[in-house]
Amino acid sequence: MTDSPLDQQHVPTDHDVAAEVATGAGLVLLGLRADRSDLDGSALKDAGDRAAQDHIARMLARRRPHDAVLSEEGAEDPRRRSAARVWIVDPLDGTREFSERPRDDWAVHVALWESGRLVAGAVALPARDLTYRMDRPAALPARPDGPVRLAVSRSRPPSFVVEIARRLGAVTVPMGSAGVKAMAVLDGTVDAYVHAGGQYEWDSAAPVAVATGHGLAPTRVDGSPLEYNRDDPWLPDLVVARPEVLGVVREALDRLL
Ligand SMILES: Nc1ncnc2c1ncn2[C@@H]1O[C@H](COP(=O)(O)O)[C@@H](OP(=O)(O)O)[C@H]1O
Ligand SMILES: [Mg+2]
Q: Is 199 in the pocket of ligand 1 (CB under 6 A)?
A: yes
Contacts of 144 (CB under 8 A, 6+ apart): none
> Length of the chain, please?
257
Q: From ligand 1's centre to the CA of 212, what distance in Å?
A: 21
pLDDT tens, residue by residue, 147-199: 999 999 999 999 999 999 999 999 999 999 999 999 999 999 999 999 999 99
- Report yes or no on 5 lying in a domain: no
Report pLDDT for 104. 98
Same domain for 88 and 168? no
Task: Supply the residue whose CA is at minimum distance from atom 2 of ligand 1.
Answer: 198
Report pLDDT for 7. 54
- Report yes or no on 249 lying in a domain: yes
Q: Is 236 in the pocket of ligand 1 (CB under 6 A)?
A: no
Domain that holds residue 125: 10-133
The strand pair at 117-125 and 107-114 is best described as: antiparallel
pLDDT tens, residue by residue, 110-159: 999 999 999 999 999 999 999 999 999 999 999 999 999 999 999 999 99
- Report yes or no on 142 lying in a domain: no
Which residue out of 29, 150, 156, 202 has the highest number of ligand 1 atoms within 8 Å of its CB and is therefore the one to mutate? 156
Same domain for 118 and 48? yes
pLDDT tens, residue by residue, 88-108: 999 999 999 999 999 999 999
Q: Which of 200, 213, 236, 216 is nearest to 88 (CA)?
A: 200
Q: Which helix (H) or strand (E) holds 91?
A: strand 85-93
Q: Which of 93, 77, 95 is nearest to 85 (CA)?
A: 77
Q: Is 94 in the pocket of ligand 1 (CB under 6 A)?
A: yes
The fraction of the chain above a pLDDT of 90, given in percent, is: 96
Q: Is 174 in the pocket of ligand 1 (CB under 6 A)?
A: no
Q: 58 with 12: CB under 8 angstroms?
A: no
